[in-house]
Structure formats: structure tokens, C-alpha cells
Amino acid sequence: MHILFVTGEYPPMQGGVGDYTRELGHALRSLGARVTVLTSERAVQPDCAEFGDGIRVLPAIRRWDWPIWRTVRGLAADLHADWVHVQYQTAAFGMHPAINFAPWWWRRQALHTAWTYHDLLVPYLFPKAGRRLRMWTTEHPATTADLVVVTNEGDRLQLER
């Protein structure tokens, strides 16, 4: 099985989501999975393509906007990825809503999508976008991804409403 993680942060960037993704990748590698991480350009490391731990890291994304849909679809096809797993934290994706609607499109492209919510903070959309629209945008992947994971009970309860 090949898992393509999509995350806005990854070491050496600071942040718990990046550390979580790295540890999850190691755990999946120990079970025999292949793991690739698509992340922000800011996660550049020396000789970044592949490390001794077998996780391939691609720090290729400058902006997390609408072209990300096709970028991920193309990479998943090239890698023969079985799953695209988004590690979601609003701020890690530059507060842009494109990633929130990507699972809808990826599903139409026959990609299996998992979505881990690390928080349910709402993105900035545009001036005067109301809280209801911003919450709908944040929670939309819970209705379009094949698998949804939350990291705390409060978020689970909020998504179940």
C-alpha cells in the first residue's frame, strides 16, 4: 500500500502537525506501507528526496490554492498511491479554502481520500464571510472524504452535529 500524505507543514518546519505526520509515516512504514509526503517548499531539507527512514518528502508547494487539486491528482497517479491522506490544520494551508474542497474533486477522480482534522479553526475566505460559511468550508471534507479522523473528542462531537 502506498500512502500520499498532503500536509502544509513537515519537519524541519515547526509544528505539531508535521511531527504527527512524520511519526504516522514511520508507523505505517514499519507495517510495510510506502509513504510519500507532499508539503510546503519551506520544509526543504538537505538531499530532501528520500531519507534513510524510507519516507519520500516532496517539499514542492509554494501556495495551497486551487491548482493543488490537479497537482495531488497527478502525483497520486504517478506514484500509484492507494490513499491521499490530508493532515488538516487551517493555518498550515495558508488559510486558503482550496484544500477543503479537494476531496470532493479527488473522489470524482477515483482517489481514496482520508482526512485528519488537527483542529476545526475556520479559514479566512473574504471580507464579511460569515461564520456559518466559514464553518461549512471547514467541515465540508467530513462529508466528501472516504475516511475522517479527528484528534480530539471536542472536534468529533462538533462534526457529528
pLDDT digits (tens, 9 = 90+) for 9-52: 998 888 889 999 999 999 999 999 999 999 998 887 655 555 55
**Rounded Cα gap, residues 97 and 84, in angstroms:** 18
* Phi and psi torsions of 84, nearest 5°: -105, 125
Q: Is 30 exposed, middle or buried (0-12, 13-18, 19+ CB in 10 A)?
A: exposed
**Rounded Cα gap, residues 61 and 58, in angstroms:** 8
Residues 6+ apart with CB under 8 A from 76: 4, 84, 106, 111
- Domains in the chain and their CATH numbers? 2-160 (3.40.50.2000)
pLDDT digits (tens, 9 = 90+) for 119-142: 887 766 667 778 788 888 889 999
Q: Taking CA 11 as the corner, what is the angle to CA 143 and CA 48, rounded to the nearest 5 degrees? A: 105
pLDDT digits (tens, 9 = 90+) for 76-96: 999 999 999 999 998 889 888
Is the pLDDT higher at 74 or at 154?
74
Within 31-152, residue ranges assigned H as helices are 68-79, 98-108, 131-139, 141-144
Residues 6+ apart with CB under 8 A from 112: 82, 83, 84, 146, 147
116 strand-pairing partners = 87, 149
pLDDT at 134: 82
> pTM to 2 decimals?
0.90
- pLDDT above 60 (res 53): yes
